[in-house]
Amino acid sequence: MGKVKTRFAPSPTGWLHLGNARTAIFSYLFAKHHGGRLVLRIEDTDRERSKKEFETAIIEDLKWLGIDWDEGPYRQSERFEIYKKYVDLLLEKGYAYRCFCTQEELEAEREKAKKEGRPYRYNGKCRHLSKEEIEKNLKEGKPYTIRFKVPDGREIVFNDLIKGEVRFNVNDFGDFVIVRSDGSPVYNFVVVIDDAIMGITHVIRGEDHLSNTPKQILLYEALGFPIPKFAHLPIILGEDRSKLSKRHGAVSVRQYRIDGYLPEALLNFLSLLGWYPKDGKEILSKEELIERFDLEDIHNAPAVFNREKLHWMNGVYIREVLDLDDLTQRVINYLKQYGEKLSPEDQKVAKEILKKPFGYVKEVVSKVRDSFFTLKEFPQRAKPFFLEEYTLSPEAEKQIEKATPEVAKNITQLFLEKVKKAETFGGEEFKKAAKEVSKELKLKPGMVFKTLRIALTGETQGVGLDLLADVVGKDSVIKRLERFLTLLK
C-alpha cells in the first residue's frame, strides 16, 4: 500500500458523538497502522448550524481521547474560494447548471411525489433552460442553486473495503444541489474536492454516508480526480437497535468524560465496537491497537452500544492498567475539573480530598482502587478516609437497633480502651483488638466488625476496616469511636 492518508471530518453542530469518535479512532488507527497520516477537517459549510464552541469542544475531546492528527484542522468555511473555482469549471464544462426553482416549488414536488407513492427526484426543470432564459433570470436577480447534471442510466459500482462490492443506479436520484442559493457549497460537493486536494487515500466514515458515495463518485469523475478507497463503518445502535442518539442516554464523549471515564478505556472500548483483534485480546493500549488494527477485521453488522461493558473496562483500567501515581493524579484532576458536577454529599468529600497532600490521597487510592469503576465513584468509596464526622446511614441505624444499642455501646467502649492502650494503631492492631473484643464479650466476630464499621464510618459496607485504620491512624479512630458513643445516647 502506498502512503496512506485518512481524514476525520466532523461537523461542528454538536458535541463529539460516540459514533463519530469511533470513526475518528478507526481513521486514526488505520493511518497509524500503515505509517500514514490523519487529517482533521471541520465540515462547517452549513453556516446556520455550525458553532465555533462545538468545534473547540470536538477538538478538545479528540485530544483528550488521544487522537492526534498530522494536518489541520482545516475549515471548509475558509475554503470557499477554492470550491468556487471548481463550481465554475463544472458550469463551464456543462456538468452543472443553474436552477431557479424556489424551495416552495420543490417542496410541493416532494409532497406530490409522496402522495402518489413514487420516489421523489428533481424533475430537471431547469436543466434545459435556454441561454436567454438564464440571462433573463440572472438579470432579474432571481436566486438560484447550482445542480450537478446526473448522467442518465449509469450504474455506479465500487468496492467498499468493508461492505464489498456495492452497486447503485444513478437514476435513483435526480440532479442534486452542489451550491446553495446563498452561494455556499454543499457537503456532497466539497467533500469530494477536499478529499481529492488533500490527497486522502482512504475515506473512512459511517455507513449513513454509503448512499452519498455514488453522487460523489460522479463528481470525482466530472472533476477528473482520482477516486479514493471507501470504507463504510456499520453504525452504532442503542439498546432498542435504532441508531444511537440522545434518547438512549449519554452519547457524547464529553458526557463520559464528566462521568469519570478514562480516555484510554473509552478509546479501547470504542475500538472494539465492530472490530476485533485476531488474537482476541480485549484490553489494549493505543499502541497495541495501532499494531493490530486493520479494516479487514471490521465486522459488518451494526453494534449495540453496551454501557455495562464500558463500565467494566473502565474498572479494569483503574485497578490494573494505570500505575498508582498516574491514577491518583487523575482522580485529583478529575475532582478539580468536574467536582461541581458531583452530588452534594460527594462534593463535600471532594473538597476534603483536595485539601490533602498527594501522598495521602495516593495511599487511599491504593486501598480502594479495586472497588471503584469510574473516577466519579471515588469520593463515595473513599469517604471514610476523609470525613471523620459522618451521619449514620438508615441501614446503619436499623442494624444498631437490631443488635441493640447496648451491645453496640459495649463493643465500642471495650474496643476504645484497647485502642487507647496501644502505642500505635494500624491494621494489624485493629484485627487483633477486634478479635479480643469478640472473645471477651463472647460475641461473634461478625457482630463486632459490623458494629465497628458503623462506629468508624457510619455505613454498613465499605473498605476493609484494617485498611482504614492503617491510613487514618490511632487518633482518628479514637475520635470516631468517642463521637459514635455520643451518637448512641
Partner RNA sequence: GCCCCCGUCGUCUAGCCCGGUCUAGGACACCGCCCUUUCAAGGCGGAGAUCGCGGGUUCAAAUCCCGCCGGGGGCGCCA
Site string for RNA, 340-379 (x = CB under 7 A): ------------------------------xx--------
Binding pattern for the stretch 257-286 against RNA, x by CB under 7 A and - elsewhere:
---------------xxxxx-x-x-x----
Number of residues that bind RNA (CB under 7 A): 90
DSSP letter string over 330-381?
HHHHHHHHHGGGS-HHHHHHHHHHHHS-HHHHHHHHHHHGGG-SSGGGHHHH
> Which residue, among 61, 10, 13, has the nearest Cα to 39 in the 3D structure?
10
431 forms part of the interface with RNA (CB under 7 A): yes
Options 27, 43, 65, 374; binder of RNA; rule CB under 7 A:
43
Question: What's the count of helices (H) and strands (E) in the chain, helices before strands?
Answer: 20, 12
382 binds RNA (CB under 7 A): no
Residues 273-304: b if buried by 16+ CB within 10 A, e if exposed: bbbebeeeeeebebeebbebbebeebeeebbe
Q: Is 142 annotated as a binding residue?
A: no
Rounded to an integer, what distance in angstroms lies between the CA atom of residue 66 and that of residue 83?
32
Footprint of RNA on residues 304-333 (CB under 7 A)?
304, 306, 308-309, 312, 315-316, 319
Q: How far is the CB of 211 from RNA (least distance, A)?
A: 3
Q: Which three cell numbers stand for residue 310?
A: 464500558
Concerning whether 286 is annotated as a catalytic residue, the answer is: no
Closest C-alpha to 454, from 423, 409, 418, 419: 409
| Contacts (CB under 7 A) with RNA, residues 127-146 | 143, 145
Distance CA 379, CA 259 (A): 13
Of the residues 2, 53, 92, 118, which one makes contact with RNA according to CB under 7 A: 118
Specify the residue, 328 or 457, whose C-beta has the smaller distance to RNA.
457
d(CA 6, CA 54): 22
Rounded Cα gap, residues 310 and 158, in angstroms: 35
**Residue 215 CB: number of other CB atoms within 10 A?**
20
Among 123, 137, 212, 347, binds RNA (CB under 7 A): 212
User: CB 303 → RNA: shortest distance, Å?
Assistant: 3
Please, which of residues 58-117 interact with RNA by CB under 7 A? 101-103, 106, 110, 117
Compare residues 259 and 282 and give the one whose CB is closer to RNA. Answer: 282
Which residue among 112, 142, 246, 309 is the active-site one?
Answer: 246
Site for RNA in 165-204 (CB under 7 A): 165-169, 172-173, 176-177, 180-182, 186-188
Question: Judged by CB under 7 A, which stretch of 252-260, 351-359, 416-424, 455-463 contacts RNA?
Answer: 455-463
Reference 189, options 179, 198, 202; nearest CA is: 179
Q: Is 402 annotated as a binding residue?
A: no
Please enumerate, by residue number, every residue annotated as part of a binding site. 99, 101, 126, 128, 246
Catalytic positions, written as ranges: 246
